Amino acid sequence: MTYSWSTTGGTVSGSRPEATLDATDVLPGLIVVTGTVSDDRTPPLTASCTVTVQIAAPTVASPESPYQNYSIIGVVVDAKDRPVNGAEITLSDPDTQFKGNPTMTNSKGEFSFESLIASTYRMQARKGSLSSPMTEVRLGSEKVVHTKLVVK
C-alpha cells in the first residue's frame, strides 16, 4: 500500500495510515488535509479521504505572542456599489512571505480576517471574472481596520 498526504495550510507528513499536521505559523481558520491510499494491483485501487481542520486562535496573547488580535473587516461590492456574495478574498504579507487562508464573503458582501499580527498586508477579492485591485492594509496603530474592495 502507498499512502500520500496533502494540505491547504501548514505541513503534513507521513507515509503510513497516520499523518502529522504541523500548523506552526498558520493563522486561525479552516485548512483541508487529504489522504490517499493505493494498492500495488494492476490497475491500482485508490481511495482518499478529506478532513477539514479548524485552527483556533491562541486563547491568551502574551507580549511574546505574534497574535495580537488585529483584525481586518471589510465588504466587497461591484461597480454599482452592490454587495458581492461568494467573493474570495486572499491575504498575504510580502515582508514575511505569509499567505493566509482565503475567506469568502457572506450574502451582504462582508468578510473578516481575525487574530492577525501588526503588519502591512496585501489583499484582493475575486468573483468569477471580476477582481479588485491589490489593496494594502496596515495593522499597527489600529486594532481593527475597515476596508471596502470593489470588483470590476
- 50 and 76 in a single domain? The answer is no
Tell me if the pTM is above 0.85. no
Query: Is there a domain that residue 64 lies in?
Result: no
The three cell numbers locating residue 12? 503534513
- 138 and 99 in a single domain? The answer is yes
- 96 and 30 in a single domain? The answer is no
CATH number of the structural domain spanning residue 81: 2.60.40.1120
- 79 and 134 in a single domain? The answer is yes
Query: Is there a domain that residue 76 lies in?
Result: yes
- 74 and 23 in a single domain? The answer is no
Say how many domains are in the chain. Answer: 2
- 104 and 44 in a single domain? The answer is no
- 75 and 121 in a single domain? The answer is yes
Tell me the C-alpha distance between 116 and 111, whole Å. 14
The parent domain of residue 103 ranges over 70-150
Tell me the C-alpha distance between 46 and 37, whole Å. 6
111 touches 95 (CB < 8 A): no
Q: pLDDT digit string (tens) for 126-136?
A: 999 999 999 99
Q: pLDDT digit string (tens) for 11-58?
A: 888 878 888 888 777 777 777 788 888 887 777 776 767 666 666 655
- 90 and 134 in a single domain? The answer is yes
Q: Calculate the CA dihedral of residues 96, 97, 103, 104 and round it to 10 degrees.
A: 120
Q: What does the pLDDT read at residue 24?
A: 77
Closest CA to 53 of 87, 19, 99, 93: 19
53 touches 33 (CB < 8 A): yes
